[in-house]
Amino acid sequence: MNNSKPTSLIESAFAAPKGTLCRGRILLPSSPPDLEEVIQAAVETEQDQETFEGDGPEAVAAEIGREFTRLVAFYWQSLGPMVWECCIDLLNVGNGKNIVCLKQDGWPRRQAIAALKGRPERPLVTALFRNLLKENGAAFGVGLFGSLPSNTDNFNEKLIPEETIRRCYWDWMNWAERELDADWIALAEEVTARALSPVLYPLDILKGLPPAEDLSEWLEKQRSRNGGLSMRAKRAVFDAYFKQSYGPY
């Protein structure tokens, strides 16, 4: 394996970024590199190629000391057993750079959406997360969410604390209400349906909302209320949603 070629390709891809964030520490590529091609550049022998084809790019990356590190995973439940998944990973490519990778169901490959300069410490990674959720990833050339995730697994709370994700989700929902017609009533209905489970309800998941037997009537009143949910009701719905959906991995 040749671990210098992938590093060289990444350096080239980010040599003239189209933009920067966080005082130049988050680089946005002018032309996002194909990560599989970058990793495949390490292949030199037939055995290397067999590893790439048989075990995938992750195995090759691990062999050259360039492992993927998962930060956070988002899941959306659909009708039936299907779950749609989106993940944010880091790939250490050396020379003080980590590539920010977005992996989504329906995409054949990870997408390189940014590079971090320097060690991926909490201030830098939380700034990345805030900027990625701001306006749904527009600065990175992606549309991150269509709705808030049904579940979120945080693989590294040392880098992205729970409160950062909570605040970003709250800001995203209020932005999406204006820009994407996101519906607080729909979120309240989702929260209610999940919370009425006899397993979840004793955990006080609906604190701030009416008792279980009054929820259906409350939702009907909210639907007919001019201007939608009050700020207090939105906060109660959001707090219940976050308790249901978030967890460290």
DSSP states of 30-74 as a string?
SS--BHHHHHHTT--SHHHHHHHHHH-HHHHHHHTT--EEEEEEE
Q: Are residues 161 and 187 in the same domain?
A: no
pLDDT given at position 138: 93
Q: Are residues 149 and 228 in the same domain?
A: no
Domain boundary among 131, 160, 176: 176
Q: Are residues 150 and 188 in the same domain?
A: no
3-state secondary structure of 183: coil
Q: Are residues 107 and 18 in the same domain?
A: yes
pLDDT given at position 51: 83
Count the domains in the chain: 2
Domain boundary among 176, 205, 229: 176
* pLDDT tens for the chain, residues 1 to 249: 777 777 788 788 888 788 899 888 999 988 888 888 888 888 888 888 888 788 887 887 888 777 889 999 999 986 555 678 999 999 988 778 899 999 888 776 788 999 999 889 999 999 999 999 999 999 999 999 999 999 999 999 999 999 999 999 999 999 999 998 888 888 888 887 776 665 544 444 455 666 666 666 776 766 666 567 788 889 999 999 999 999 998
Q: Are residues 207 and 166 in the same domain?
A: no
Q: Are residues 72 and 165 in the same domain?
A: yes
Q: Are residues 28 and 141 in the same domain?
A: yes
Q: Are residues 154 and 172 in the same domain?
A: yes
How many residues are listed for the chain in this entry? 249
Q: Are residues 19 and 119 in the same domain?
A: yes
pLDDT given at position 71: 97
pLDDT given at position 223: 64
- Indicate the DSSP class of residue 139: G
Q: Are residues 244 and 145 in the same domain?
A: no
Structural domain of residue 230, as residue ranges? 183-248
CB 192 within 8 A of CB 152: no
Q: Are residues 31 and 144 in the same domain?
A: yes
Q: Are residues 151 and 194 in the same domain?
A: no
pLDDT given at position 147: 92
140: which residues sit within 8 A by CB, 6+ positions away? Answer: 28, 102, 113, 114, 131, 132
Domain boundary among 176, 211, 233: 176
